[in-house]
Amino acid sequence: MANEAVGAATQESTAERGVRQELTGIVTSTKMQKTIVVQVTSNGKVLINQEQVAWDTLGPRLEDIFKERAEKVAFIKGDDSVEFAQVARAIDIMRGSGIDSVGLITAKIEAGQ
C-alpha cells in the first residue's frame, strides 16, 4: 500500500512537471518574440529587422508578423538623411497593418544617450 502511495505521488509530480514545462514553454516563447524595427534607409529602401521588403508588401508582411501577437508594438527608425515624409509613410503603413503603438528610435536612443 505504501508503495502505491509513493507511485501515485510520483505520477502526480511527473504530470505536474509536464504541465509546468508546457506553461514555461508558452511563457518563454511569448517573451522571446523579437522586437520589430522598421527602418527607412537613405536610398529609399525599407527593412523589417534588417530584412529588406518592398514598400507595397510592408503592410501585409507586418500583418503577418503581428497576427499572433497580443502586444502590437513596433519601432521606426530613419537614416539621418531620410525625409520625414518617408518615415511618416512607413508609420502610416505600420498603423494600417494593425500596430497599436509605434515608437521612434532616434540616433541618441540608438547610441544609448
Confidence (pLDDT) at 18: 52
Torsion, CA 15, CA 16, CA 21, CA 25, rounded to 10: 110
pLDDT digits (tens, 9 = 90+) for 42-64: 999 999 999 999 999 999 999 99
Cα separation, 63 vs 57, in Å, equals: 10
pLDDT digits (tens, 9 = 90+) for 65-81: 999 899 999 999 999 99
- What type of residue is 96? G
Cα separation, 74 vs 97, in Å, equals: 11
From 89, 86, 81, 88, select the one nearest 107 (Cα to Cα). 81
